[in-house]
Amino acid sequence: MAATDSLIQKIGKAVKEVAKSRSSEWWYTPHMAAASHAVAERIPLVDLVLEVRDARIPLSSEYLQLRKFLSSSRRIILLNKMDLANRSQTKEWMRFFEEHRCMAFAVNSHNRDNIKEFLTFLQARVRELKKKDDHSHAITLMLVGIPNVGKSALANSLHQVGRIAAAEKGRLKHSVVSPQPGETKSIGSLKIASHPNIYVLDTPGVLHPNVADDEVCSKLALTGAIKDTLVGEIELARYFLSILSLSDEYRKWEKLSLTNEGISGLDKKQYPTDHTQDFMVNNVRQTLYNAISSFTGCIENTENLARLVDEEFEFLLKIFHLPLKSEAFNNYCRFCT
Ligand SMILES: Nc1nc2c(ncn2[C@@H]2O[C@H](COP(=O)(O)OP(=O)(O)OP(=O)(O)O)[C@@H](O)[C@H]2O)c(=O)[nH]1
């Protein structure tokens, strides 16, 4: 991994320059500052905090501010989007959190059975809380986490799956789910269980004001927590390509290269529906598979890896019919040298 680290350092230099030039649109907006404040104010008032993280990047997606507010007995770490993460790595992460005495649960917000399991887990936890403090008040849980990690999707699913009266499942009552970060603007509450009554608070996505680590920034952008432009699209693409080239993921695309004519060469008219997107995705995969598998240098070596990434980049620019030397690309090269 030394080669990636070194390449990432170079990319990091470019990222910092881009970040400096974009400081006015940096992620920590007044709106996010207000949301962080509102979340911090509520932490002492709720029974449990469900800290939602992205299962693909469980450490980089931590909301660091929580550490100073919360003891681990009132926090459950939720690794959401587990369907997008590597299954065996998720198991390792669960072991990691167990070793660190953190309560953790991996979940896919879109999977009903999985949400049911999680709800049962939550109710058991609530019963434990009630044993310690048997007031008859309703239990309040608060979902906290970085933007776009799936808090609203989770709140909606818990509300839908929860054992509550049909009348309480108001059709219009739901949190707004969106693929864009920063969609939740205020704190909303949804009932998710009765006897005892349990409510979940959905909150706006929050980030630490200073995410100093360039690699963390890139991971946040790649998983959709911050906009790509905040890191720089070219840097991000290069970062992604270096990770892909060093992993085994691309091998899954071998069969695509066996349809040798090249998907771009197929006549799209022979297909009854518009699968333009599928063509594009397959074309990109095929091209990357060919580039990586035919590369003769040792990619553990930094220079070789950078050369491979350059080649992949040029192939991709061709596929997307983009000019090889755009202004953004030239700027990137200037930062890197
Ligand atoms: N594949 C997958 N996608 C998910 C999952 N949970 C949420 N998503 C998707 O992730 C995107 C963001 O979900 P939201 O629920 O809006 O995220 P949020 O954390 O509330 O976002 P903010 O408003 O920025 O705080 C949406 O496109 C969801 O459909 C999951 O478990 N698996």
- Please provide the DSSP assignment of 225-290 as one string: SS-HHHH-HHHHHHHHHHHHHHSSGGGGGHHHHHSTT-GGGS-GGGSSS--HHHHHHHHHHHHHHH
Q: Return the sign of the alpha-carbon dihedral for residues 315, 224, 179, 171.
A: positive
Q: What is the per-residue pLDDT for 151? A: 96
Is residue 74 within 8 Å of residue 49, measured between CB atoms?
A: yes
Distance CA 113, CA 115 (A): 5
State the greatest distance between any 2 C-alpha atoms of the chain, in Å, as a whole number: 70
Q: What is the per-residue pLDDT for 280? A: 84
In a structure prediction context, what are the per-residue pLDDT tens digits for the chain, which is 337 residues long? 455 555 555 555 555 555 544 443 467 788 888 889 999 999 999 999 999 999 999 999 999 888 877 666 789 999 999 999 999 999 999 999 999 989 999 999 999 999 999 999 999 998 888 777 766 678 999 999 999 999 999 999 999 888 766 666 665 467 777 777 777 777 888 999 988 889 999 999 999 887 767 889 899 999 999 988 888 888 898 899 999 999 888 898 887 765 554 444 444 444 445 566 678 888 899 999 999 999 998 888 889 999 999 999 889 888 888 876 666 566 555 555 4
Determine the distance separating the centroid of ligand 1 and the alpha carbon of 152, expressed in angstroms.
7
Task: Give ranges for CATH 3.40.50.300 in the chain.
Answer: 28-202
Q: Is 301 annotated as a binding residue?
A: no
Top mutation candidate among 87, 184, 226, 230 for ligand 1, by most atoms within 8 Å of CB: 184
Q: Is 80 annotated as a binding residue?
A: yes
Top mutation candidate among 32, 56, 81, 118 for ligand 1, by most atoms within 8 Å of CB: 81
62 CB neighbour count, 10 Å cutoff: 18
Assess if CATH 3.40.50.620 describes domain 28-202. no
Distance CA 333, CA 310 (A): 11
322 CB neighbour count, 10 Å cutoff: 11
Top mutation candidate among 31, 152, 174, 222 for ligand 1, by most atoms within 8 Å of CB: 152
Q: Reduce the DSSP state of residue 50 to 3 states and report it.
A: strand
Q: What is the per-residue pLDDT for 273? A: 52
* pTM, two decimal places: 0.82
Determine the distance separating the centroid of ligand 1 and the alpha carbon of 161, expressed in angstroms.
17
Q: Which of 196, 220, 228 is nearest to 145 (CA)?
A: 220
Q: What is the per-residue pLDDT for 52? A: 98
Q: Which residue has the tokens 């999707």?
A: 153
Atom of ligand 1 nearest to the CA of 147: 24
Q: Is 81 annotated as a binding residue?
A: yes
Alpha helices in 54-86 (DSSP H): 66-69
Q: What is the per-residue pLDDT for 232? A: 85
Q: Token pair for residue 112?
A: 């009903």
Do the bridges between strand 139-145 and strand 48-54 make them parallel or antiparallel, or are there none, so unpaired?
parallel
Q: Atom 13 in ligand 1: which residue has the minimum CA distance? A: 150
Q: Is 82 annotated as a binding residue?
A: yes
Ligand 1 binding residues, C-beta < 6 A = 80-81, 83-84, 108-110, 147-153, 177-179, 181-184, 204-205
Q: Which of 281, 179, 168 is nearest to 224 (CA)?
A: 179
- Residue 225 Cα to chain centre, angstroms: 6
Atom of ligand 1 nearest to the CA of 179: 27
152 CB neighbour count, 10 Å cutoff: 25
Q: What is the per-residue pLDDT for 267? A: 47
Q: DSSP states of 284-307 as a string? A: HHHHHHHHHHH--S-TTSHHHHHH
94 CB neighbour count, 10 Å cutoff: 19
Is residue 169 within 8 Å of residue 123, measured between CB atoms?
A: no
Q: Is 145 annotated as a binding residue?
A: no
Q: What is the per-residue pLDDT for 60? A: 94
Q: Is 217 exposed, middle or buried (0-12, 13-18, 19+ CB in 10 A)?
A: buried
Q: Token pair for residue 310?
A: 């350059």
Residues 6+ apart with CB under 8 A from 66: 43, 49, 51, 75, 144
Q: What is the per-residue pLDDT for 266? A: 45
Predicted-assembly ipTM surpassing the 0.95 threshold:
yes
List, in sequence order, every beta strand (DSSP E) within the chain: 48-54, 75-80, 103-106, 139-145, 188-193, 198-202
Atom of ligand 1 nearest to the CA of 176: 16
Q: Which residue has the tokens 């299954």?
A: 87
β-sheet with 103-106: strand ranges across: 103-106, 75-80, 48-54, 139-145, 198-202, 188-193
